[in-house]
Each structure stands twice: as C-alpha cells, then as structure tokens.
Amino acid sequence: MLSVLDIFRVGIGPSSSHTVGPMRIARRYTKHLKRLKLAKSIHRIEIRLLGSLAWTGEGHGSPRAVLLGLLGFEPETIDSAAADKAIVELTNSRSLPLLGTTIKFDPDRDLILDCETPSELHPNGITLTSFDANGQQLDQSQWYSTGGGFIASAEQLRTKPKNDLITVGSNVPYPFGSANELLAICKREQKPIHEIILANEDQKRPREQTERQLDRIAEVMNDCIDRGLETEGILPGIIQVKRRAPALWKTLNNGVPDESPEVLFDWLNVYAMAVNEENAAGGQIVTAPTNGAAGVIPSVIRYYCAAKPTATEDTRIFLLTAGGIGLLYKQRASISGAEMGCQGEVGVACSMAAGGLTAIWGGTPPQIANGAEIGMEHHLGMTCDPVAGLVQIPCIERNAFGAVKAANAARMALKEIDQMKVSLDQVIETMRQTGIDMSSKYKETSQGGLAVNVVEC
C-alpha cells in the first residue's frame, strides 16, 4: 500500500527511474547476497542494464548509480563528495568492497548496457548475477525500476494482482481506488481531499511525523530551487547546455521592473528551470513524482505559497492533495517515462500541481479533480525524447511549461460552472492507453523525436 511519502522522495538527479531506482536495486542486491551468506563464495558480479536503461542509461547516470548502490550508498542519504571519491577508488583499483571482502570488479566488463536482450516485464530491467571462482553461477536476480524511484522484483511484478486498482488502502480509514471513489468519500465525510489523505497517512505513522516529513520535502524542494538560481555554468554531457536559471533570476531581481502580467511566466519558469538544471547536474532532488518532472510542483509551491504567512500549512495541503492525485496515476496507470512517455512524467506533475493549487485557492474536491484532469488532458500523447539521453532537452523547459499550464488549469477549474465532461479517472485511463499504444521510440529510449533530429554537438 502506497503513501504520499512514496510519491515525494528525496534522492539525486538526473533520473528517478534511471538513477535512483538502479541505485536502490544494486543496494538491495548486496543485502540479498548477505542474506544468502554468499560472501565467501562470490568471485565476480555482473550487472546488465536492459531496455530503456541500456538505451539512455549512459546519459541518465545509470552505470554510476549502480556502482554507488553496490558500494552501499542510498539515494536519500548520499554524500556527493564521498560518492565521487568511492567511484574514483573503484575505477582505479577495479575492485569492489562487498560483504566484508573485496572482489575484482571491472566496470567495462562487469557492467553491461545490453540493448539486445528484451526487458521482459517492464522497460527498465536490471539483471544481477553472481559467480564463484570457477565461473559457476551462484545467484541471479531480476529487478525493475518502475518509475519515480520505485523498484520491483520480477516476482513482485509477476504476482501483481490483475485488478490492483484498490491498493490505495484496505487498512486505512478511507480506502479509495479511483478519483470518483475519493470524491464520494469527500462528499460523504464533508471533508476536503487533503484531510482524507492525511487521515489515511495517520494509519501509517504519527501525525507529527507525517507533518515533519512533508516540511522536510518542502525544504529540500526550496533548497534545490535556491541552488539552481545561484549556480552558473555548463551542465554535464555532450550537448553542453548552459544553465539559464541564474541569468533569468538576476534579470527578475535586478533588471528593469517588468509590470506586464506575463512576468508570472518568468517566475514559474525560473523556479522550475532551477530545479531541473540542478537535477541534470546530479543534485539533490525530490521526486515529484519523478526526477525528470521534479521542477513543476516546487515552482508552483514557491510562487504561490512560499511568501504567505500560511506558507507551512498551505504547502502541506498542496503536497497532500497533489500526492493523493499522484497515487491515482501510480496505481491506475504509471509514472514511468519508459512506459508512458513524458505524459506520464511532466503530464502527471502538471496534473498534481494543478490539483494542489486548486486546493490552496479554496477549490472544492470536484474542482480539484477537474484541475487535475485539465492538467493532464493537455499533455496526452506527449513523448519522451531526451536529446543524447540526457535529462536536459526538452526536459528543463518542459517543466517550466508544466508549471505555467498547472496554474492555468487551476484557474480554469475554479471558474468551471457546468458539470465537467471528462473525469479525472477517464483522463488517467486515456493516458494509460495512449502510453501503451505509443511507439517505444518515444518512451525514454532516445530513438525518436528530438533525440534523433537534434545534432548532439
């Protein structure tokens, strides 16, 4: 059963599915080997990245993430300086400290980006195999990075119930498996969406702990914006993208005051771009719901909540509402670009942000659902085609657009007078079907779209 704190997780850039997930899988594998008590027998480990992880893993930092996971690092607590040092040591020594011993590990030989072998149960597969000194296989595990930092073993994906739409909560006071059910609960209980979600979270941990974690999420989002606004330079990777948020930030603060109403776009743009430039540089990020789409929600929160005396309370309401909407997408469809294209990342982030903003603007539960629906409706069919496999073009600007669209969607929802014609459930299902029908060229493989039409250098 999922929590909104599974949707918003602290990690590192540039990708939740290609960096955070693989790091968690590699870390999980070392724990698995420890449980099997194989420390004395292991001579070699081989890791194969399959599917989208093979096609775009290099640009998304997947090999480095796997090494860090094997070295014992976790995305939530990683110390970047210590991580860099450990990677240099491993690369120079071609050896890996593992379970109290040291084995030979040559990343060029033992970490393979395998574009040939199909990734069976999900497009982001990882096969991890251990061998003894005679080359005999000791263990093989198959894992998948399913988007937003979530991971699942092959067994978990195979045994997933056919109809898992009600997994939001059988052991919570307000279980719901669809937006319609959530709205019905709100109506019956005469409570807003965030109170229903919070009551469900209370079942998992004390209220103060949830609030502390929500505040911590907001703090990491804000710190990320601040770093992105200050840090100038060129982003890592072959396409040599210059960071643009610092220059725009300076213009907004020190340039000729811009009285035009469209200056709103500049503010939303600069906050979103600051986050996604930090993400592209491998900085600390909150999945919202993924790393690639991590700029939309912090931008909207920063612009509309941060300066108000009620900032803390508004931000909690925003995150709970947006998180509840994110749970619906995660459980009824997917938040993985490798499965859904970018509609499943920036589209979902926009939908979540539109719902959160409608909530803090005083919208009713149906208006919130309507805002979330509008936020997704106009992202349907959006492909994932990152140039050079880097989470930069179109990703950085796309988050800025997602933030602007979210504000527009929330305003439209608040002015809606007639009954809405498209429900949130219908648009989520439409996104799912569109994602299934989308060619794999447009699902985080960099085999189509901008990725093949933009010259890389």
Q: Which residue has the tokens 């499965």?
A: 339
Measured from each CB, the residue nearest to ligand SF4 is 292
Question: Does residue number 349 form part of the binding site for ligand SF4 (CB under 6 A)?
Answer: no
Site membership for ligand SF4, residue 345 (CB under 6 A): yes
Applying CB under 6 A, among 228, 337, 365, 402 the residue interacting with ligand SF4 is 337
d(C-alpha 200, C-alpha 216), whole Å: 20
Helix-helix angle 365-377:179-189, to 10 degrees: 160
Q: State the sign of the Cα–Cα–Cα–Cα dihedral 196, 199, 203, 205.
A: positive
Q: Which of residues 242-261 bind ligand SF4 (CB under 6 A)?
A: none
CB of residue 345 to ligand SF4, shortest distance in Å? 4
Among positions 346, 348, 372, 451, the unique one binding ligand SF4 when judged by CB under 6 A: 346
| Pairing outcome for strands 111-114 and 101-104 | unpaired
- Identity of the residue, 125 or 337, whose beta carbon is nearer to ligand SF4 in the bound complex: 337
Structure tokens at 171: 């052991």
Choosing from 201, 278, 425, 444, the residue that interacts with ligand SF4 (CB under 6 A) is: 444
What sections of 205-310 are H helices per DSSP?
207-230, 245-254, 263-280, 296-304
Q: How far is CA 413 from CA 121, 215, 364, 377, 406, in A?
A: 38, 27, 10, 13, 10
In whole angstroms, what is the distance from residue 234 CA to residue 244 CA?
Answer: 9
Cβ pair 162, 37 in contact under 8 A: no
Residues in contact with ligand SF4, counted by CB under 6 A, come to a total of 13
Q: How far is the CB of 286 from ligand SF4 (least distance, A)?
A: 15
Nearer to ligand SF4, 194 or 443 (CB): 443
Cα separation values, 8 from 75, 132, 428, Å:
13, 40, 19
CB-nearer residue toward ligand SF4: 177 or 295: 295
Query: Does 335 participate in binding ligand SF4 (rule CB under 6 A)?
Result: no
19 versus 367: smaller Cβ distance to ligand SF4: 19
CB environment 61-74: b (16+ within 10 A), e (fewer): bbbbbbbbbbbebe
Q: Which of 202, 212, 407 is nearest to 301 (CA)?
A: 407
244 secondary structure, DSSP code: -
Binding to ligand SF4 by CB under 6 A, coded x per residue (else -) over 268-297, reads ------------------------xx----
Rounded CA-CA distance 207/201 in Å is 8
- What residues between 363 and 392 interact with ligand SF4 by CB under 6 A? 384, 386, 391
CA distance 399 to 295: 6
Interaction of residue 147 with ligand SF4, rule CB under 6 A: no
Name the one residue in this structure whose structure tokens are 């979270």. 201
Nearest residue (CB) to ligand SF4, 369 versus 438? 438
- The interface with ligand SF4 within residues 392-431 (CB under 6 A) comprises 394-395, 398
Closest CA to 191 of 302, 374, 324, 330: 324
Q: Which is nearer to ligand SF4, 86 or 340 (CB)?
A: 340
Q: Smallest gap, in angstroms, from Cβ of residue 152 to ligand SF4? A: 19
| Between 320 and 395, CB nearer to ligand SF4 | 395
Binding to ligand SF4 (CB under 6 A): which residues in 187-216? none
Quote the least distance from Cβ 172 to ligand SF4, whole Å: 30
Nearer residue to ligand SF4 within complex by CB, 60 or 316: 60
Among 50, 71, 128, 342, binds ligand SF4 (CB under 6 A): 342
Which residues of the shown chain bind ligand SF4 in the complex (CB under 6 A)?
292-293, 337, 342, 345-346, 384, 386, 391, 394-395, 398, 444
